[in-house]
Amino acid sequence: MKKITPFLWFDGNAEAAMEFYTSIFKTFKVGKVRRYPKGTPGPAGTVMSAEFSLFGQDFVAFNGGPMFKFTPAISFSVDCETQAEVDHYWKKLSKGGKPNRCGWLTDQFGLSWQIVPSVLGKLMQDKDPIKAGNVVQAMMQMGKLDIKKLEKAYAKKRG
């Protein structure tokens, strides 16, 4: 494992979450699945933790119970080169969840994701504050980010 690994707390559905995420990302690896032994807090034989990786980023999904929930204060950002990638991750991760604004969504497990086209950073950091501002304004009106609309906002002439 790497030095820092996101450790995700679930309420009985860690294995389902791992299966969901590894079905969406084309580069994944399923690691060890540990089960609760007799005499521990979880029911014997049920999944205690499940290790997996997405694009080389390791994760641990842990069935710890209902005490803690995910919040948008922590999210995972997915860098997308094309609109097809944006569309794929947006559709798959938002299924059973909730789409939000500016490329953010909450998946069916309550985990927040940012589905971001790679070009967005370049457009938002342009030296021309009008162009950069146009991109930010366009992004603020979107749920799923649309590369063509962001680029159109960037190219928009001064007022």
Give residue limits of the domains in the chain. Answer: 1-68, 70-159
- Cα–Cα distance measured from residue 111 to residue 18, given in angstroms and rounded to the nearest whole number: 12
Q: Which class in CATH covers the domain with range 1-68?
A: alpha beta
The CATH code that applies to domain 70-159 is 3.10.180.10
Strand order in the sheet with 98-99: 75-80, 112-117, 104-106, 98-99
Q: What is the mean pLDDT of the chain?
A: 95
Structure tokens belonging to residue 34:
């540990």
- Cα–Cα distance measured from residue 124 to residue 72, given in angstroms and rounded to the nearest whole number: 22
The answer, yes or no, to whether residue 1 has pLDDT greater than 80, is no
Structure tokens belonging to residue 35:
């089960």
Predicted confidence (pLDDT) per residue in 40-60, tens digit = 988 999 999 999 999 999 999
The answer, yes or no, to whether residue 159 has pLDDT greater than 60, is no
- Cα–Cα distance measured from residue 89 to residue 4, given in angstroms and rounded to the nearest whole number: 24
Predicted confidence (pLDDT) per residue in 111-141, tens digit = 999 999 999 999 999 999 999 999 999 999 9
- Cα–Cα distance measured from residue 132 to residue 130, given in angstroms and rounded to the nearest whole number: 6
The answer, yes or no, to whether residue 157 has pLDDT greater than 80, is no
